[in-house]
Amino acid sequence: MTRGQFLTAMAFAPFVRGTSSGVNAQRLRQRLEELSLHGRPTGGIFADGVSRVAFSDADVAGRALVMRWMREAGLNPRIDAAGNILGSRAGSDAKLEPVLFGSHIDSVPSGGNFDGDLGSLSAIEAIEVLNAARETTRRPLEVVVWTNEEGVAYNNGLFGSRAAAGLLDKGEMDHVWNGVSQRDALRKIGGDPDKIGSARRGPFRAYLELHIEQGGNLDRQKIPVGVVEGIVGIDRFDVEIRGFANHAGTTPMPDRQDALIAASELTIAVNQIVRREPGRQVGTVGHIDVIPNAPNVIPGLVRLTVELRDLDKAKVARLGREIQDRAQKIATETKTAVVFTPASHHEPALADPKLQTVIEQASAKLGLKSMRLPSGAGHDAQSMAHIGPMAMIFIPSVNGISHSPKELSRWEDCANGAAVLLESVRILAA
């Protein structure tokens, strides 16, 4: 989609059909646009996307804005020890387990304006609609904005939801990234690393998350609502390749221990091994640092990440082993040392079948077609699946693009998604 086409798509967007659930499409759109200012490239426009990586100044500013909206909606927001922003709305029966719903607002670098933001702002929108209608649900409601879902920081995502589910790795709080400890990063956003255990949360009736699909199924099939069946498992590794930095002019080719040659062969190997068999597994080398990264120095050290995903965790583990075996052969051939360190492991998670049916009922009530599908993206809902029933609602991503400034969902689809979220909450909280 060219910039011009994008702008045209956005220009006609305001004339969207309202949704019968009372969702204010215009307010949701305005808030998505306002939130995207925090992390927008200098002099950029909405179409230029956002860099609001967790714990950055832009993340802090975005969180403050979201907390303001939560306060205005009477949610009385607080920040828990893991930095999660939590709001609550009383139900008529305080003894009942709450319906919990929300998402995240941190982004990848040069990401889009909908990933996480749609679910977080739609959760607040749902509360606004209930307030305006003076509707009291039977169950209490809780809205959450999770800390560091993307895991660009510390190469381990779903941080806030894993803290809530008691899934933090041993020693995770002592990790350092970009020279900042996880502890200090948490303090920067109002968390309390010394009381991280207090972020574990109690039981809930259901966890719901509205999110853009980030893939192209719904957009291709022109279906407005996706009901997620399950979320892929994800394994990430930090890989360090040690060669020998030397003079690029005086070192004969056969005598080199070039860490970047080894890294390049490993990157190709990841792609080959993952594509060698049928299935929907994926593998990516997304981050690479070359040291000393100078034109006339043979790279002595390379640090990169390997990420593997599939709904079948045994397949992910097997691919990881095959890639590490191949890495040792590459090390021998290139006279380098290659060390894999596990950085994160997220189990695949199945959505609760009954909650999937509730989302289908809510969609039907709104006259919206829905279809069931898996999620190739990871989500905080997969942490919640460890401690209670979860389900996810997807809306189409135009051309299936995400983690890019070109990430785009139509405003009508955003409003419909928020309406399905609200109707699902109404059914579950009744």
By CB under 6 A, which span of 120-128, 134-142, 149-157, 162-170 interacts with ligand HGY? 149-157
Q: To the nearest whole angstrom, how small is the minimum distance from the Cβ of residue 382 to ligand HGY?
A: 10
Nearest to 309, CA basis, from 353, 341, 269, 349:
349
For residue 240, the cross-strand partners are 303, 339
- Cα 430 from Cα 138, distance rounded (Å): 5
151 near Mn ion (CB under 5 A):
no
215 near Mn ion (CB under 5 A):
no
- Cα 194 from Cα 217, distance rounded (Å): 43
In this complex, which beta carbon is closest to ligand HGY, that of residue 212 or of residue 301? Answer: 212
In this complex, which beta carbon is closest to ligand HGY, that of residue 336 or of residue 375? Answer: 375
The interface with ligand HGY within residues 367-386 (CB under 6 A) comprises: 377-378
In this complex, which beta carbon is closest to ligand HGY, that of residue 262 or of residue 377? Answer: 377
In this complex, which beta carbon is closest to ligand HGY, that of residue 112 or of residue 224? Answer: 112
Q: To the nearest whole angstrom, how small is the minimum distance from the Cβ of residue 167 to Mn ion?
A: 17
By CB under 5 A, which span of 109-117, 121-129, 288-296, 298-306 interacts with Mn ion? 109-117
- Cα 375 from Cα 311, distance rounded (Å): 9
The dihedral formed by the CA atoms of 210, 165, 31 and 213, expressed in degrees to the nearest 10: -30
Q: Which two tokens stand for residue 282?
A: 């994926």
Decide which of ligand HGY, Mn ion, none touches 157; Cβ closer than 5 to 8 Å per partner kind.
Answer: ligand HGY
By CB under 5 A, which span of 70-78, 110-118, 197-205, 422-430 interacts with Mn ion? 110-118
Cβ neighbours of 61 (radius 10 Å)? 15
Residue number closest to ligand HGY, CB atom: 377
283 near Mn ion (CB under 5 A):
no
- Cα 379 from Cα 358, distance rounded (Å): 20
Q: To the nearest whole angstrom, how small is the minimum distance from the Cβ of residue 383 to ligand HGY?
A: 12
Query: Could you say which of 49, 91, 98, 116 contacts Mn ion (CB under 5 A)?
Result: 116
In this complex, which beta carbon is closest to ligand HGY, that of residue 159 or of residue 299? Answer: 159
Question: What is the H or E stretch that residue 211 is in?
Answer: strand 206-212
Length of the chain as a residue count: 430
Q: What is the DSSP letter of 351?
A: P
Q: To the nearest whole angstrom, how small is the minimum distance from the Cβ of residue 149 to ligand HGY?
A: 5
149 near ligand HGY (CB under 6 A):
yes
For residue 306, the cross-strand partners are 237
In this complex, which beta carbon is closest to ligand HGY, that of residue 157 or of residue 283? Answer: 157
150 near ligand HGY (CB under 6 A):
yes
Decide which of ligand HGY, Mn ion, none touches 378; Cβ closer than 5 to 8 Å per partner kind.
Answer: ligand HGY
- Cα 5 from Cα 130, distance rounded (Å): 36
Question: What is the H or E stretch that residue 340 is in?
Answer: strand 337-346
User: Could you tell me how many residues of this chain bind ligand HGY (CB under 6 A)?
Assistant: 6
Contacts of 252 (CB under 8 A, 6+ apart): none
Binding mask 170-209 for ligand HGY (x = CB under 6 A): ----------------------------------------
Angle between helices 411-429 and 117-132 (to 10 degrees): 60
Q: To the nearest whole angstrom, how small is the minimum distance from the Cβ of residue 395 to Mn ion?
A: 13
The interface with ligand HGY within residues 79-118 (CB under 6 A) comprises: 115
**CA distances in angstroms from 251 to 243, 296, 334, listed in the order given:** 13, 11, 15
Decide which of Mn ion, ligand HGY, none touches 243; Cβ closer than 5 to 8 Å per partner kind.
Answer: none
The interface with Mn ion within residues 322-351 (CB under 5 A) comprises: none
Q: To the nearest whole angstrom, how small is the minimum distance from the Cβ of residue 109 to ligand HGY?
A: 13
265 near ligand HGY (CB under 6 A):
no
115 near Mn ion (CB under 5 A):
yes
Decide which of Mn ion, ligand HGY, none touches 119; Cβ closer than 5 to 8 Å per partner kind.
Answer: none
Do the beta carbons of residue 86 and residue 78 sit within 8 Å? yes
- Cα 208 from Cα 89, distance rounded (Å): 16
In this complex, which beta carbon is closest to ligand HGY, that of residue 363 or of residue 402? Answer: 402
Nearest to 74, CA basis, from 87, 62, 61:
87
Contacts of 365 (CB under 8 A, 6+ apart): 423
Decide which of ligand HGY, Mn ion, none touches 307; Cβ closer than 5 to 8 Å per partner kind.
Answer: none
Q: Which two tokens stand for residue 166?
A: 């008691």
Which position has the token pair 């209930």?
Answer: 130
Which position has the token pair 């979220």?
Answer: 421
Number of helices (H), then strands (E), in the chain: 12, 18
Contacting residues toward ligand HGY, per CB under 6 A: 115, 149-150, 157, 377-378
Residues at the interface with Mn ion (CB under 5 A): 115-116
